[in-house]
Structure 1
């Protein structure tokens, strides 16, 4: 019997990641792991990266970022035998700190929680009017960042695995009719027959068991489900990339609690099947992919021969730059997330290092129609003291032509009864923002007006008004800024900025340049109707297959 090549690669890659973490290496490959085991490096006493170990000056391919699109691209390039460098600005989260945990729980954050912040910046700012949600912390390259623009903040993951480290694992395949509307030049047959199933398989997507759903940990979901049904709305079960087999072990006391102990937005120590557990170790395990961490790309240029040159800065855990270097490649894949990718390209176009980029770069950004609402429940209808942090159900009103809303039933894991239902609504908001380069500040700014969330607010409020009326409940204040019962100034689902078919061709090739590709959520025009990471993964699988075969 022959072993599964992908399983073997994943095993080798996981071993390399573990070794790199133990030795504090910022450059990870099968070769660097072998050198570490052979005694080339000394282990640091603290769980912090040591001085950076070297990378080559040139690679056939470079992938910027380690989120969903980047991880897919790196794996498939490595499988094709193409020597590839993957660059990630965050840390490798693979080594416990002094509390024997890699990540912190939501209610007990420290420096590991946020990217170089003095204080945490959670979406809920208050606890019934008391300023006790956010905590002062030490600055550290933590796992979650809140990037603030005028009128809009964007939550992003920082670390090997990108957003997969900090999301709620809601692995939703979009409605086919809506997918065909937003990406009409992409074959829906190919996506739904091949690439969505492939993405779901690679990400370990599974469904909550009836036993877990009926347990105390999902009382909050059942309460909201009943309230929705009372108002005449239907609900939908939501698949997840959290391992529900592991969650059952948590519930039975056979595994340390993670999702059942308040771990989610600042990382998860248990059953989350994040990219550092599947795609990324499989990529490293090919022997053709090298990962560089704590390293930021500051500039992209192209020489007369078509070779791309990248300026890099590597930092330590204090944020100090410990190395600047140049690295070049023949083919460049941008997967730094829609903020990072768009910023790099807008800056390159407007500063003249890639002047042939077209005017579509920077356009078509959207927040996936995100808006968060809080509602009270009746005193005899509590949402539960112990709550799983992984949502498994949503209120599905997407077919309504006047008020299309998909509202995720979100947990509120405080460890006490709050009689509160939280919802992250996804709406069909047509509004789009755009990015511009600010030469005076050398920054790239998101142009988004506060009034652009009106559609999201009106459609969601219509739905929750009906639920409150049917259940004799009210909106819950005291959680969000300005004592509002909703929050429309942040998003977990940023999309767009380098749209497929406009800034790029139909496979992510950036117009104006050869061998330059966008592989992440920047390609999707601002909305996908559900949590976007399965779509980003499947689209990346489709695009990289075409690129490897044809370029």
Structure 2
């Protein structure tokens, strides 16, 4: 990344004039990002509560499946163009505090709120100091899904706001030189001139104060990571984020309730992080045209006899049990259930005959963004700090020479570990495919754990050199016994309904008018950095075109 890249439920009728006016308003919408007043937010929440979940038999102009980055962009821009939107979310609303007075539980003390319908936690770091750390929990519709896809565990956010609820908030725009390899059919000039800036504004992206970074205890771990990177000749870069940095400073000073400084990351952040609930979704709700049905899951989409699409939806309770089945009709349907959710649903719909005209690219081009994790054991004179802000703010860029970008990640255990921890994004070439297993009625992914070896080799171009220079070794106690690499997971699933292959160049699914993909399933497997800014920017690009030409 260059410094330049881093520093910067009913239906209402609408006229053609209304659509045109709404479309033109999009051009200035980014300037409104984050300008929702508390009164507007309360009014929107009140309207939402009054609306309730979607009714059986409802007819809606636009149905958005999922409330993550792509779905939130689509809902906001459609609403601003005068279209009523209903969003379907499998997870919870995450707007009600638990018995401890907090909405989200802490990373170090996971409870039933932590995992999606599991009876035992499945933490990315399964071991610590030689001991397994997963614990039994009550089965509940918790916030983090650790979905076992056979050869890989895919971590996904469950709730209104999707992945924005559980990620580290690293809001990285890829280096422009890498963009052609990420989305070859998309005009880079448009993306970097219009849609990346719009996405960054809408997401509320900011950068840590470097002077504050150099002095505060909670980023000692990142300063150690910077020192080791630079001493081995690697560029350390500050990475933009969607945390409220003024709030972070107050956390560190002890003047407000601690959130990131208390280690909150894996299972939600109670205060400072600008998740989609506070940005795109807050704006969307404030239009009065967007309603959301949490704990609802789309199971079928098929052409409706009178036009549009028949959508079958299961309502579930917090044990995952189905409590109602609803059938609604939507004029337009936007698939935004995340790379895995969208891909699995489309593959099933094609294979079972609900949408047989979907083309042969459905399910293909899936990748893990080259994710691999590791830890290093530092010397006693290089402590990383017992208090660590859970929001990463820097990375090591060896993409050109070694095919790896490594974020210097926190390890918020509450004790001094003398450990440096990293999540690497690598130029892994392997792509997997989702297929339907008729015998089991399930959708499967053919990813093989052995395909992680290129990622390990690329990450080693950074960490072998640092270890050699510093006289340090890899930690072998974080992912099992005597296991160096976290090669069993991804936080960044991408692909499965690739742009300009499974869809046209703006996300319209081939074979059907009025069906769209608008999430990370469009991106073929890798973004070279954390992907959510690219997902957001691509959604901004695509929905602008769809509103201008299809509505």
Same fold (TM over 0.5): yes
In the alignment, which residue of structure 2 is the partner of 1:195? 195
Residue in structure 2 matched with residue 120 of structure 1 by the alignment: 121
Identify the residue that residue 489 of structure 1 maps to in structure 2. 488
CA separation of 1:6 and 1:217: change in aligned 2, threshold 3 A: closer
- The alignment partner of 2:127 has SS state of coil
* CA–CA distance in structure 2, aligned partners of residues 233 and 170 of structure 1: 20
For 1:224 and 1:231, the matched residues in 2 are separated by 11
1:14 and 2:57 are equivalent in the alignment: no
Aligned partner of 1:383 in structure 2 is: 384
**Structure 1 Cα separation of the partners of residues 356 and 42 of structure 2:** 42
1:14-53 to structure 2, matched below 5 A, reads 14-16=41-43, 18-19=45-46, 30=47, 32-33=48-49
- Give the corresponding residue for 1:365: 366
Structure 2 matches for 1:288-367, cutoff 5 A?
288-367=289-368
**What residue in structure 1 maps to residue 149 of structure 2?**
149
**How far did 1:180 drift?**
1.7
Contact 1:91/1:141, CA 8 A, preserved across alignment: yes
Q: Given that residues 92 and 158 in structure 2 are in contact (C-alpha distance below 8 angstroms), is that contact kept between their aligned partners in structure 1? A: yes
Q: CA deviation at 1:153?
A: 0.8
Give TM-score scaled by structure 2 length.
Answer: 0.92
d(CA) in 1 for partners of 2:362 and 2:175? 27
Alignment of 1:245-324 (within 5 A): 245-324=246-325
Indicate yes or no: 2:534 matched with 1:539: no
For residues 460-482 of structure 1, give each alpha carbon's deviation from its aligned partner in whole angstroms, at most 9, with x where no partner exists: 12321111000000011111124
The Cα shift of 1:285 comes to: 1.5
Deviation at 1:196, TM superposition (A): 0.6
Equivalent residue number for residue 412 of structure 1:
411
The alpha-carbon deviation at position 306 of structure 1 amounts to 3.8
Q: Which runs of 5+ in 2 are unaligned?
A: 1-28
TM-score by length of 1: 0.92
Distance across 1 between alignment mates of 2:350 and 2:373: 35
Between 1:459-468 and 1:422-431, the stretch displaced more is 459-468
Residue 6 of structure 2 corresponds to none
Question: Do the aligned residues in 2 keep the contact of 1:10 with 1:283 (CA within 8 Å)?
Answer: no
Moved more, 63-72 or 372-381: 372-381
Deviation for aligned residue 1:212: 3.5
For the 8 Å contact 2:385–2:416, the answer to whether it is kept is yes
Contact 2:122–2:134 at 8 Å: present in 1 too? yes
1:246 aligned counterpart, secondary structure: helix
Match of 2:476 in 1: 477
The Cα shift of 1:181 comes to: 2.2
CA contact (8 A) 1:206 1:240 kept: yes
Match in the other structure for 1:140: 140
Measured in 1, the distance between the counterparts of 2:424 and 2:141 equals: 30
The superposition leaves residues 330-384 of structure 1 with CA deviations (integer Å, 9 ceiling, x where unpaired) of 1110000011101111001001110000110000000001000111101111111
Contact 1:85 1:290 in 2 (8 A): yes
1: CA distance between counterparts of 2:79 and 2:455? 41
Give yes or no for contact 1:13–1:283 (8 Å, CA) kept in 2: no
Per-residue deviation, 1:137: 1.0
Corresponding residue for residue 18 of structure 2: none
CA distance in 2, matches of 1:33, 1:319: 22
Partners of 2:444 and 2:365 lie apart in 1 by 14
In the alignment, which residue of structure 2 is the partner of 1:41? none
Instruction: Name which of structure 1's ranges 269-278 and 295-304 shifts more when overlaid on structure 2.
Output: 295-304
Within a 5 Å distance, the mapping from 1:427-446 to structure 2 comes to 427-446=426-445
Corresponding residue for residue 548 of structure 1: 547
Could you tell me how far 1:531 is from its partner in structure 2? 0.3
**CA distance in structure 2 between the partners assigned to 1:334 and 1:35 by the alignment:** 23
Distance (whole Å) between structure 1 residues aligned to residue 474 and residue 44 of structure 2: 46
**How well do the aligned residues superpose, as a CA RMSD in angstroms?**
1.7
- 8 Å Cα contact 2:57/2:326 also seen in 1: no
Deviation at 1:122, TM superposition (A): 0.9
Cα contact 1:154–1:494 (8 A) shared by 2: yes
Using the alignment, how far apart are the partners of 1:361 and 1:12 within structure 2?
44
Residues 309-344 of structure 1 show CA distances to partners (whole Å, capped at 9, x for unaligned) of 111111112222111110111111000001110111
Partners of 1:216 and 1:55 in 2: CA distance:
54
Q: Is contact 2:130–2:480 with CA below 8 Å preserved after alignment?
A: no
Give the secondary structure class of the aligned counterpart of 1:487. Answer: coil
SS at match of 2:399: coil
* Cα distance in 2 for residues equivalent to 1:10 and 1:328: 34
Which segments of structure 1 move beyond 4 Å, counting only runs of 4 or more?
3-13, 16-19
Q: Residues 10 and 190 from structure 1, CA distance in 2 versus in 1: closer, same or farther, beyond 3 angstroms?
A: farther
Q: Deviations over 1:254-273 (max 9, x none)?
A: 21000000100100001100
Q: Aligned with 1:333: secondary structure?
A: strand
Assess, with a 3 A threshold, how the Cα gap between structure 1 residues 452 and 17 changes in structure 2: closer, same or farther.
Answer: farther
* Deviation sequence 1:133-179 (CA, Å, 0-9, x none): 32211111111000001110100000000000000000000111211
Equivalents in 1 of 2:546, 2:106: separation in Å? 41
Q: In the TM superposition, what is the alpha-carbon distance from 1:411 to its structure 2 partner?
A: 0.4
In the aligned structure 1, how far is the partner of 2:68 from the partner of 2:229? 34
In 1, Cα distance between equivalents of 2:56 and 2:34 = 27
* 1:220 equivalent in structure 2: 221
8 A contact 1:341–1:522 mirrored in 2? yes
Deviations 1:79-121 (A, max 9, x none): 1111111000000011111111000110011001111111111
Instruction: Tell me, in whole angstroms, the C-alpha distance in 2 between the residues paired with 1:56 and 1:389.
Output: 45
> 1: distance between equivalents of 2:51 and 2:526?
45
Deviations along 1:504-548, one digit per CA (max 9) or x if unpaired, are: 000000011111100000000100000000000000000000000
Partner SS for 2:113: helix
Q: Give the paired residue count.
A: 520
How far is 1:248 from its partner? 0.6
Whole-Å separation in 2 of the counterparts to 1:258 and 1:11: 21
